[in-house]
Amino acid sequence: MRPDNVFVLVTRAGHNTLTTTRVERLVGGFRQGVEASVPALRRYARALTRDAELADDLVQDTLVRALRSEHLFHGGDIRSWLYTILTNLNRNRLRALARRPTMMAIDENDAPDMAGPEAGGRDIERALGALVEDQRTALLLVVLEGLTYREVAEVQGVPIGTVMSRLSRARMQIKDYLDGKRPALRRVK
Amino acid sequence: MIDRDSPVTSDELHAYVDGMLPSDRRPAVEAWLATHPDDAAHVAQWRAQAEAIRAHYGMVAEEPTPERFNLDRLTAGGRRWRAIAAAAVAAALIGCVVGWLAHGASANAPSAFEQFTAEALNAHKLYVTEVRHPIEVQAGEAHLLPWLSGRVGTTLRAPDLQSYSLKLLGGRLLPGLNGPAALFMYETPAGERYTFYCARSNTARTALRYNAAGDAAAVLWVESDIGYVVSGPAERNRLLDIAQTAYQQMEARVPTRATENLPNARRGS
């Protein structure tokens, strides 16, 4: 059986109605579930950080943390749980970075060998880079990872209404950015 | 029954785009979009954004999973695995470049760029204000490049930045994170100074990164294990232009073996 199936089943059953057999299958499938989530975690981390090396470091830290905290996983969707760990680790990373001078990747577009079909991708990459972290996280979890609004709210630890407004602001900002109103300056509170 | 006038909320438009709208609200939203072109345009844009994001990052999940994510290995070694890997890399490099990696091996990846840039910016700030001795060796002296190339361990070139009215004054040798570093200094007729810093890096390659720190700013990139930092006044666009020019010139260089410069280096030092 594909490990994914175990967790889909468990998710649909809900936390309170887990039967013993399902719990056993869940425990047995924990590692498989984590393993099967690696490709999606790498995709999410890559889009979050827009830096392949950083992203993979983040995924590795997430996996180590998850394996160590297996006893804290009480069922539910293992992917959401992993997304939560990764999102928090990324937030900690950014907090640590904020104490140092800020760094951001800049246009590679000017280099002559960067033209071609990838140019559109770079636009979206830069537009994502201009977003506030919480908005970027919400948008990516929805459009790239296919989480429901409720799941995103759980990952981010906020009410659904907050997720909706983050999503809405992210989309408006990306539109403005792509329309050429750049640089999309971050508003400092 | 479809109530065409039932107000459709912005949340529902998002849910419609994300496929999370309850099916009984679908007809109402579609009817709304048919009569509200502004909202229809938003929906189309949001869809295009989502498509672009999926097109750009979707394939990452199709890549074969690198061995470093093997769970057995992660459980066995945990964080130790990383230290072992770093040590292995260090050992391999020490074989080639004795003693130059004293600090480098233990530097952790996320902060390596910042540290590297901070080194370059510190050197920049220290020497641009220097009136009498901004450099050690004048641009006109033939041994400037062979000497610095020999010490840094790669064939260095000082980029030609005449198109920005920047004249090369000369260069100096500095201690860096991973070994000796070279600092070239440029000056405009108005006395504005820019520096070009080169040293070995732990990272093989990166894209350009901009970093502002007070009134000075820096652009970093890494190519073939050598990190380059262009520092100057915090005028983003001009600095980026200059860095792009330097980057292109470094890219275009003909690869030569650093050892060819060693005899000169001895003469120079």
For A101-154, the pLDDT digits (tens) are: 545 555 544 333 344 445 567 889 999 999 999 999 999 999 999 999 999 999
Q: Are residues B147 and B79 in the same domain?
A: no
Please report the beta strands in chain A, taking only residues with DSSP state E, as ranges in sequence order. Answer: 103-105
pLDDT at residue B94 above 80? no
Q: Are residues B128 and B231 in the same domain?
A: yes
pLDDT at residue A143, as a whole number? 96
Tell me, yes or no, whether B3 lies in a domain: no
Q: With an 8 Å Cβ cutoff, are A121 and B11 in contact?
A: no
Shortest distance between the Cα of B33 and any Cα of chain A, in A, equals 17
Domain boundaries of chain A, sorted by first residue: 1-102, 118-183
Predicted interface score ipTM higher than 0.85: no
Q: Model-level pTM? A: 0.52
* Cβ atoms of residues B160 and B183 within 8 Å: no
- Is the domain covering A118-183 a CATH 1.10.300.10 domain? no
State CA B221 to chain mean position distance: 4
Candidate from A60, A108, A121 with C-beta closest to B68: A60
Q: Are residues B23 and B35 in the same domain?
A: yes
| CATH code of the domain covering residue B202 | 3.30.200.100
Shortest distance between the Cα of A19 and any Cα of chain B, in A, equals 28
pLDDT at residue B125 above 80? yes
Tell me, yes or no, whether B78 lies in a domain: yes
CA torsion sign for A90, B122, B152, B231 is positive
- Asked if A88 reaches chain B (Cβ–Cβ under 8 Å), the answer is no
Residues of A in contact with B125 (CB under 8 A): none
- Asked if A22 reaches chain B (Cβ–Cβ under 8 Å), the answer is no
Q: Which pLDDT band holds residue A10 (cuts at 50, 70, 90)?
A: very low
What is the C-alpha to C-alpha distance for residues B40 and B24, in angstroms, rounded to an integer? 19
Lowest mean pLDDT among B58-62, B188-192, B204-208, B260-264: B260-264
Q: What are phi and psi of A3, to 5 degrees?
A: -55, -30
Mean pLDDT, chain B, as a whole number? Answer: 81
- Give pLDDT tens digits for A37-71: 999 999 999 999 998 888 999 999 999 999 888 88
Provide CB contacts within 8 A for B68, sequence distance 6+: A56, A60, B81, B85
- The residue segments making up the domain with residue B20 are 10-60
- Asked if A63 reaches chain B (Cβ–Cβ under 8 Å), the answer is yes
Q: Are residues B131 and B264 in the same domain?
A: yes
- Asked if A119 reaches chain B (Cβ–Cβ under 8 Å), the answer is no
Q: Are residues B56 and B119 in the same domain?
A: no
Provide CB contacts within 8 A for B187, sequence distance 6+: B166, B167, B169, B193, B194
Chain B residues 137-166 with a CB less than 8 Å from chain A: none
pLDDT at residue A169 above 50? yes
Tell me, yes or no, whether B140 lies in a domain: yes
Q: Are residues B221 and B264 in the same domain?
A: yes
What is the C-alpha to C-alpha distance for residues B103 and B151, in angstroms, rounded to an integer? 17
Shortest distance between the Cα of B142 and any Cα of chain A, in A, equals 32
- Asked if A42 reaches chain B (Cβ–Cβ under 8 Å), the answer is yes
What is the C-alpha to C-alpha distance for residues B30 and B32, in angstroms, rounded to an integer? 5
State CA B216 to chain mean position distance: 17
- Count of domains observed in chain B: 3
Q: Are residues B33 and B80 in the same domain?
A: no
A–B: how many Cβ contacts below 8 A? 135
Tell me, yes or no, whether B31 lies in a domain: yes
Q: Are residues B225 and B112 in the same domain?
A: yes
- Give pLDDT tens digits for A12-26: 333 333 333 344 445
Candidate from A34, A42, A143 with C-beta closest to B50: A143
Q: Specify the higher pLDDT residue, A10 or B160.
A: B160
